[in-house]
A and B are shown apart, each in its own frame.
Chain A
Amino acid sequence: MKVLRFLAVPALAGLLLAPPAHAQDVVRIGAVLPVTGKESKIGSAYKQATELAVKEANDAGGLTVGGKKLKVQLTLLDDTSDAAKSAQLVEQLITETKVHALTGGYGSQLVQAQSVVPERYGVPYVSAGAGATSIYGRSKWVFGTLSPVEHLARTQMEFLQDLVAGGKLKAPLSIALITEQTEHGNDYAKGVKDYVAAHPGAWSVPLEQKFELYAPDFRPLLGRVQAAKADLFMADAHLEDFITMQRTYTQMGLRNQMITYGARGADEAARKALGAATDYIFASGWWSDLLPYPQVRDFDARYKAATGIAPQWYHAMAYETTRAVLVAIERAGSLEPEKIRAALAALRLEKSIVPGGVLYFTKTGQADLPFVVTQNKPAGKVDLVWPKDAKTGDPIAPIPWK
């Protein structure tokens, strides 16, 4: 029995990790991402994009910091989609690997958990992984490149308002607002309701419902939607729920003038799962490969050449975020945390692939860039329909139900 108990000691001792060596002539960047686990699909995409951005910087000779050419060393750790682990790994990157700046995190929960750490040690942190407003504005060290989800909703409302102004839809319009029980969903609902409150008379929300993630059966919920007889159907959901809900929606014979699932709509998997039932759904997002800027065409080609896949919004945002961190370090001309932080706060990244063409952060540290709206067209086509100066096709409204 004694020996068994003593096993505890070597086991505890076995947890001692060897301290890593610290090279002096590199820029150390750290990132903690959900490469495996629940968020692994997009987490691993972020990993790929982040690594590509670092590779491109190193292939070009590295960063010029204060006159010296320095290579970039990326330490990327997997938090297995666990929030507590995520925070602990960020701490490890700061205290043991001694990174100069951090990027990473995907998903509100993981980014929230990570974001309490940079404040403690004074290390700049830029996340491409969460648009929830509650994360930002609490610490000057925390930045985010995903614009607030409320503004995603507001952009959709502006798009819809424009359709009314153009005569395609007739005011007043009522909305059935169906959101998932998460921060993302709550922010989306707030964005819609704030716009409606600011424009009374033209808009109303007679039905607002929340649903649990991965719910098995949406029939009762959609039954309420049917009874509400609203003009527009606006929802915010994860991919699985989008697929299940839209299936049930179609089978129940629901018909609204316009349908959206927030950021969902043009996803490959959804097209495959729903076929023609995804036609005319409009979606709003942080990025689209349909943006007509030359730097986007260029990025698209480079990404395909390097990885073999066409970049989605998550690849693009992760890439550009990493690039923003590297550029900020160059512009700071130093590896001192405060100088890097100041450079980030003042950053205006021109010729950026983001909508609007310029990446910058607001006072809270979160970016507030324009959103794009895309609409699915028949036969698998997708059109960029907003902002109007970047559109590749005209929006079709209302949906031409047969």
Chain B
Amino acid sequence: MKAPLTRSLVWFGVLAAGLLGAPAAAERGTLNDLWNVAFAIVLASAWNLLGGFAGQISLGYSAFVGIGAYTTVLLAMAGWNPWLTLPVAAALAVAFSVIIGLPTFRLRGPYFSIATIGVGEAVRVIASGVEFTGGSSGLRMPSGGFNFISNYYGMAVLALFTVAVVFFIHHDAFGLALDAIRQDIDAAEALGVQSTRYKLLAHAVSAALVGAAGGLFAMNFQYISPGSVFDFRLSLSIVLMPIVGGIATLVGPVLGAVLFSYLQIKLLASPALRDSYLFIYGGLLMAVMLFEPRGMVGLWERLVRLRSRQRPQAAEA
């Protein structure tokens, strides 16, 4: 469902104001949380490009986070300015996405997803075993030059940029092609949509964004290891956020990202819940699949429809 342009601009403005204005008003602890939210927004929205709009559910996105992070650290160790490493991080992630995409995009549906699990795990194992990536000990950014506020703005800007990019693609013919691929790939092909080309393109764009986020992650935490950036659980949460929020929508991934970040904070605060986070994630996933596959956005739309049925004169989408 495509909302009118003004409405979209309004909520984008709200998001931008919230993220960019926070350093003036909030404490460091809150800014840390917002950084996490921004990071999550980039991952969820970027993933949604391929997973939601194009309908190809990849369970191996942590590979791009890791590639971005390691590129940034290795180049920084060689003397580069960390900010300048970000485009390279994005480029390498894109290259990897093509290498992976070419063989695996021949697969449909769950077969593709399973293949991506395999890819993600293989990358992690190799990164742990190879010397120049520091092996399982990981790598540290060269010390000095850490500036949290810059890191914060970097991630906030990337988050807003990601949302904007996804918005423009969605409203472009590119987005229409992706929708067609998701709904019925054979029909789309019959209509002349070169599905593989579009899948590769969507994969590349989202990989670039996620790779850049990985680089920013390395800059903010200064220490990375295969266990932290190539983790399967990271791949999982990247998938869970847009699904719970509302797959194949613009606002769904953002909602999902905020919800999960909020949950993380609440979980940490309450001892009783801390041991139950798997229940919560698993339960949410099951609830969404069983009752409302379109996630929170779908739930909202259902409520709106119910209301408009009761009051036909106030009906609005």
Name A residues whose Cβ lies closer than 8 Å to a Cβ of B. Answer: 1-2, 4-9, 11-12, 14-17, 19, 35-36, 77-78, 80, 83-85, 87-88, 91-92, 95-96, 108-109, 112-113, 115-116, 119-120, 132, 134, 138-139, 181-183, 185-186, 210, 212
Report the Cα distance A186→B135, complex, angstroms: 9
Could you pull out 20 A-B pairs where Cβ atoms are within 8 angstroms?
A1-B3, A1-B304, A11-B259, A12-B37, A15-B34, A16-B30, A80-B268, A83-B221, A83-B223, A85-B264, A91-B28, A95-B28, A109-B138, A112-B140, A113-B221, A115-B223, A116-B140, A116-B222, A182-B136, A186-B135
Q: Is the CB of A78 within 8 A of B268?
A: yes
Residues of chain B in range 259-304 having any CB-CB distance to chain A below 8 Å: 259, 261-262, 264-265, 267-268, 271, 274-275, 277, 296-297, 300, 304
- 8 closest residue pairs by CB, A with B: A5-B11, A183-B137, A116-B222, A95-B28, A83-B228, A15-B33, A36-B274, A182-B136
**Inter-chain contacts of B254 with A (CB < 8 A):** 8
Report the Cα distance A1→B181, complex, angstroms: 26
Closest to B259 in A: A11
Q: Is the CB of A4 within 8 A of B29?
A: no
Closest to B140 in A: A116
Nearest Cβ on chain B to A38's Cβ, whole angstroms: 10
A113 in contact with B27 given A6-B11, A8-B18, A181-B128 (CB within 8 Å): no
Mostly, the A contact residues are helix
* Chain A CB within 8 A of B62 CB: no
Q: Is the CB of B138 within 8 A of A91?
A: no
Report the Cα distance A182→B134, complex, angstroms: 11
Residues of chain B in range 15-63 having any CB-CB distance to chain A below 8 Å: 15, 18, 22, 26-30, 32-34, 36-37
Report the Cα distance A112→B228, complex, angstroms: 11
**Inter-chain contacts of B136 with A (CB < 8 A):** 181-183, 185-186
Closest to B3 in A: A1
Report the Cα distance A183→B128, complex, angstroms: 10
> How many A-B contacts if CB must be within 8 Å?
132
How many residues of chain B get a CB closer than 8 Å to chain A's CBs? Answer: 55
Q: Is the CB of A138 within 8 A of B143?
A: yes
Nearest Cβ on chain B to A113's Cβ, whole angstroms: 5
Report the Cα distance A183→B140, complex, angstroms: 14
A8 in contact with B137 given A92-B28, A181-B129 (CB within 8 Å): no
**Inter-chain contacts of A116 with B (CB < 8 A):** 140, 143, 221-223
Q: Is the CB of A109 within 8 A of B251?
A: no
Nearest Cβ on chain B to A140's Cβ, whole angstroms: 12
Q: Is the CB of A5 within 8 A of B14?
A: yes
**Inter-chain contacts of B208 with A (CB < 8 A):** none
Name B residues whose Cβ lies closer than 8 Å to a Cβ of A. Answer: 3, 7, 10-11, 14-15, 18, 22, 26-30, 32-34, 36-37, 125, 128-129, 135-138, 140, 143, 146, 217, 221-223, 225, 227-228, 251, 254-255, 258-259, 261-262, 264-265, 267-268, 271, 274-275, 277, 296-297, 300, 304, 317
Q: Is the CB of A2 within 8 A of B7?
A: yes
Q: Is the CB of A108 within 8 A of B137?
A: yes
Q: Is the CB of A210 within 8 A of B129?
A: yes
Q: Is the CB of B28 within 8 A of A119?
A: no
Q: Is the CB of B11 within 8 A of A95?
A: no
**Inter-chain contacts of A35 with B (CB < 8 A):** 274
**Inter-chain contacts of B221 with A (CB < 8 A):** 83-84, 87, 113, 116
Q: 16 additional contacts, CB 8 Å, given A78-B271, A116-B223?
A: A1-B304, A12-B18, A15-B261, A15-B265, A78-B268, A80-B268, A92-B32, A95-B28, A95-B29, A96-B27, A96-B28, A109-B228, A120-B146, A182-B136, A186-B135, A210-B129
